[in-house]
């Protein structure tokens, strides 16, 4: 009897414990986390981890985050009438296909996604239906509070929160797992305030000039951090599936263009760095240049002998081609472009990159056309990188998308000397002060820049399209000690009344850069240029003799340009 009592007590205690475990454990599991996160935490390998770290701008403004939303699921084994359920759910939920849902419900099994990430209104509608076998589950959703504004930098994720484009894809490893795995928010170099300014100005220009699209970017010359990047048309990363493919194309990194005369920045730096050309040299641009059966002409021709600063400021193709040959031609040009990273596919934190289109053979005519930006196609950001090197510290470094911290300067290989950098600043200033880029002038800041207008290659890559151009302007400010490079490219802009019908980069893209500098400069804490600095640039130009020993101030060509504005 005693033994019986002992066994009875033991079995009773086991029974109580079993009941206890059976009733409590599922409750705890249900409360622990969202469905995907719980599976990921348990190490279920075939379920993608939906947890992701936040992305913030350099000021800490939230750019991307995860929020919890409800999703609707169904258990086909518990669904009483599959057809009625499918009809009711398709009626209550946007975007749910009745036939597809019915097929999945009839296929059997124990789990079917009906719709992910539903709205509170949809949740209420489903609850009102009271369908057996239909349930809700928590799931994490990526949210982009700024909508289109930073779309091409951030990219987007798929329904399982896995990166598909932009930084979401490029830095997937740094993001996935999120806070739960000790991942800090990803701090970008991008400044949301500047991004808004750049977006606003570029959108206005694309509308005003009826362009197919455009790209605008701001690059920190000191740290090579990307402060802003806008590509239009853009898309809402909260609903990337609604955007056409063209809107998802990043025109700053994912498309390459023949950029035209802005390339003269590279050619001039190469010529000056070679030591075979100086600011004091002159080249004959009085008639078209013939190379074999090809003829090179000037769009803004002066048809006379031009000094190097004039060749640059008036954007002479004839003079620039001769400078390239004087520097050493293809033998010097190709390695110089390589040193600036203009011949290789750029290594960026985003996957939307395209390798430049470079000539297969570097013969004389190719060298001549490349000198003024035809016959070579690069992405705007890749070109801006090289400009930052040529007006900054003379060293080449790739663009950083992440905040590198205060005072962090990259130490890339030196491509040009300090003297060449100084000469380039002078040439860029001259172009905005008196050359083809006067519309890039900004009150308060001394801006240097270069215009570019390139014909678009025809679809069959044989020749160029008539009337279709890529208009660009790349500027640096303040040009005495450049802090930022600003580049704007417009795809097929049309002239309007404000440009007297012109669609040149100097008329369409330069004013956009000027407006960006004027508004973003104070936001970035750039002090206005002192009058003494401007006077010193003016004095430097006086020291360069041009045709017949006269200085630029006295030279007729500049006066003609000034009157023509």
Partner 1 sequence: MTRRHNLALLVLIALSMGGVFQLKYSMVALKSEVARINADLEEERWRMRTLEADWAYLTRPDRLVAQAQALGMTRAGVTRIVDIERIGRRKQLELSRRPMPITLPSGGSAEFRVKPIATFEIAAGGSGR
Q: What's the CA gap between 447 and 277, in Å, rounded?
A: 25
Q: The dihedral of CA 366, 369, 374, 379: what is its sign?
A: positive
Q: Tokens 């005003």: give the residue.
A: 208
Q: What's the CA gap between 403 and 523, in Å, rounded?
A: 17
Q: How far is the CB of 65 from partner 1 (least distance, A)?
A: 5
Q: Which is nearer to partner 1, 254 or 440 (CB)?
A: 440
353 neighbors 344 (Cβ within 8 angstroms)? no
Q: Is residue 431 at the binding interface for partner 1, with CB under 8 A as the rule?
A: no
Query: Looking at 108, 109, 132, 145, which residue binds partner 1 (CB under 8 A)?
Result: 145
Q: Is residue 479 at the binding interface for partner 1, with CB under 8 A as the rule?
A: no
Can you name the residues that pair with 551 across neighbouring β-strands? 545
Determine which one of 139, 228, 261, 315 is catalytic.
261
Interactions with partner 1, residue window 504-533 (CB under 8 A):
518-519, 521-522, 527-531
- Binding mask 55-94 toward partner 1 (x if CB under 8 A, else -) reads ------xxx-xxxx--------------------------
Q: Is 349 exposed, middle or buried (0-12, 13-18, 19+ CB in 10 A)?
A: buried
- Binding mask 124-143 toward partner 1 (x if CB under 8 A, else -) reads -------------------x
Q: How far is CA 534 from CA 10, 447, 480, 481, 527, in A?
A: 96, 10, 8, 12, 14
Element (H, E) at 306: strand 305-307
Query: Looking at 1, 22, 23, 28, which residue binds partner 1 (CB under 8 A)?
Result: 28
Q: Is residue 117 at the binding interface for partner 1, with CB under 8 A as the rule?
A: no
Secondary structure (H, E, C), 210-237? CCCEEEEEEEECCCCEEEEEEEECCCCC
Closest CA to 351 of 143, 156, 63: 156
Q: How far is the CB of 123 from partner 1 (least distance, A)?
A: 15
Q: Is residue 19 at the binding interface for partner 1, with CB under 8 A as the rule?
A: no
Query: Looking at 72, 92, 114, 149, which residue binds partner 1 (CB under 8 A)?
Result: 149
Q: How far is the CB of 101 from partner 1 (least distance, A)?
A: 29
Q: Which is nearer to partner 1, 148 or 320 (CB)?
A: 148
Interactions with partner 1, residue window 198-217 (CB under 8 A):
200
Closest CA to 397 of 224, 227, 542: 224
Q: Which is nearer to partner 1, 63 or 265 (CB)?
A: 63
Interface with partner 1: number of residues (CB under 8 A): 47
Q: Which is nearer to partner 1, 140 or 273 (CB)?
A: 140
Q: Catalytic: 261?
A: yes
Residue 233, number of CB atoms within 10 A of its CB: 18
Helix, strand counts (H, E) of the chain: 21, 16
| DSSP code of residue 528 | P
Query: Which residues in this chain contact partner 1 in the complex, by CB under 8 A?
Result: 2, 5-6, 9-10, 13, 16-17, 20, 24, 28, 31-33, 61-63, 65-68, 143, 145-147, 149, 192-193, 195-196, 200, 441-446, 518-519, 521-522, 527-531, 534
**Residue numbers annotated as active site:** 261
């Amino acid at each position: 009897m005693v033994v019986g009592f002992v066994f009875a007590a033991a079995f009773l205690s086991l029974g109580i414990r079993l009941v206890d475990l059976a009733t409590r454990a599922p409750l705890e599991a249900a409360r622990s986390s969202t469905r995907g996160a719980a599976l990921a935490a348990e190490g279920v390998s075939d379920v993608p981890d939906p947890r992701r770290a936040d992305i913030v701008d350099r000021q800490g403004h939230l750019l991307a985050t995860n929020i919890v939303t409800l999703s609707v699921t169904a258990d086909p084994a518990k669904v009483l009438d599959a057809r009625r359920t499918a009809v009711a759910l398709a009626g209550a939920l946007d975007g749910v296909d009745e036939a597809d849902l019915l097929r999945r419900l009839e296929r059997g099994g124990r789990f079917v996604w009906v719709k992910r990430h539903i709205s509170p209104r949809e949740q209420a509608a489903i609850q009102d239906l009271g369908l057996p076998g239909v349930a809700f589950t928590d799931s994490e959703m990526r949210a982009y509070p700024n909508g289109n504004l930073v779309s091409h930098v951030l990219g987007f994720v798929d329904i399982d929160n896995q990166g598909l484009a932009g930084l979401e894809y490029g830095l997937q490893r740094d993001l996935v797992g999120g806070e739960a795995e000790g991942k800090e928010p990803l701090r970008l170099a991008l400044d949301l305030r500047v991004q808004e300014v750049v977006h606003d100005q570029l959108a206005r220009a694309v509308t005003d000039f009826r362009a197919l699209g455009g790209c605008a970017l701001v690059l920190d010359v000191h740290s090579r951090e990307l402060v802003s990047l806008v590509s239009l048309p853009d898309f809402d990363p909260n609903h990337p599936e609604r955007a056409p493919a063209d809107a998802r194309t990043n025109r700053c990194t994912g498309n390459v263009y023949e950029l035209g005369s802005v390339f003269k920045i590279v050619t001039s730096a190469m010529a000056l760095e070679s030591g075979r050309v100086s600011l004091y040299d002159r080249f004959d641009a009085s008639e078209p240049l013939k190379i074999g059966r090809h003829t090179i002409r000037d769009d803004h021709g002066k048809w006379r002998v031009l000094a190097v600063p004039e060749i640059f400021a008036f954007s002479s193709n004839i003079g620039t081609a001769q400078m390239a040959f004087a520097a050493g031609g293809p033998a010097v040009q190709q390695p110089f472009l390589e040193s600036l990273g203009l011949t290789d596919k750029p290594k960026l934190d985003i996957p939307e990159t395209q390798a430049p289109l470079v000539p297969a053979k570097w013969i004389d005519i190719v060298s001549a056309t490349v000198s003024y930006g035809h016959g070579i196609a690069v992405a705007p950001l890749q070109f801006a990188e090289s400009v930052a090197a040529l007006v900054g510290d003379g060293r080449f470094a790739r663009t950083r998308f992440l905040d590198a911290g205060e005072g962090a300067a990259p130490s890339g290989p030196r491509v040009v000397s300090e003297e060449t950098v100084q000469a380039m600043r002078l040439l860029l200033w001259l172009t905005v002060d008196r050359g083809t880029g006067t519309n890039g002038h900004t009150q308060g800041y001394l801006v240097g820049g270069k215009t570019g207008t390139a014909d678009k290659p025809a679809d069959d890559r044989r020749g160029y399209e008539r009337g279709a151009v890529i208009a660009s302007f790349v500027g640096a400010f303040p040009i005495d000690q450049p802090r930022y490079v600003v580049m704007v490219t417009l795809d097929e802009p049309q002239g309007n009344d404000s440009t007297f019908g012109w669609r040149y980069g100097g008329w369409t893209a330069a004013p956009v850069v000027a407006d960006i500098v004027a508004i973003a400069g104070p936001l970035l804490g750039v002090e206005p240029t002192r009058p003494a600095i401007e006077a010193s640039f003016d004095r430097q130009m006086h020291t360069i003799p041009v045709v017949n020993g006269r200085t630029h101030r006295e030279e007729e060509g500049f006066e003609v340009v000034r009157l023509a504005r």
